Amino acid sequence: MATDRVCVGAIGGAFGVRGEVRLKSFCAQPEAIAAYAPLYTEDGSRSFTVRITRTIPNGFAARLSGIATKEEADALRNVNLYADRAMLPNLPDDEFYHADLIGLEVFDTGGARLGTVRAIFNHGAGDILEIYAPGRKTALLLPFTRAIVPTVDLTAGRIVADPPEESEA
């Protein structure tokens, strides 16, 4: 399920009147986002080099190549930025990029199919896998812990989960 690019940040709009943007980094080391340049828009139609100018609440003020005015910066509000996977660091065996998990099939420890990972959420207490299955009224939400998700096999494109009894439907 590997993709060529991984979402590493988003533009929050203009910062000031001279073309700087508010940059939100989704990287483990937030300031590393500039090192992964060039960063691309989702459709790949535009790319930018990044120079962080200062830290601001919830992110950075940054200069993007080709952006010189407040209007150009505001036009990029809510645009996600993607880095080439080859620019990102290799992860230890027990860590994964969210982009690699979305779309994987999920099975329980008995081999029964639970569904497909549709999204990953983190509201501060750890990652939660949202698993969707046709015919199911609501998505199955599982904590992404070693106890609940003992096996992630990216090569086979599958996850083995051991959901708590009350989560099974």
d(CA 52, CA 166): 47
What pLDDT was estimated at residue 84?
Answer: 93
Domains of the chain: 5-87 (2.40.30.60), 98-162 (2.30.30.240)
What pLDDT was estimated at residue 3?
Answer: 62
The average pLDDT across 78-93 equals 89
How do residues 16-34 score in pLDDT, each as one tens digit? Answer: 999 999 999 988 889 999 9
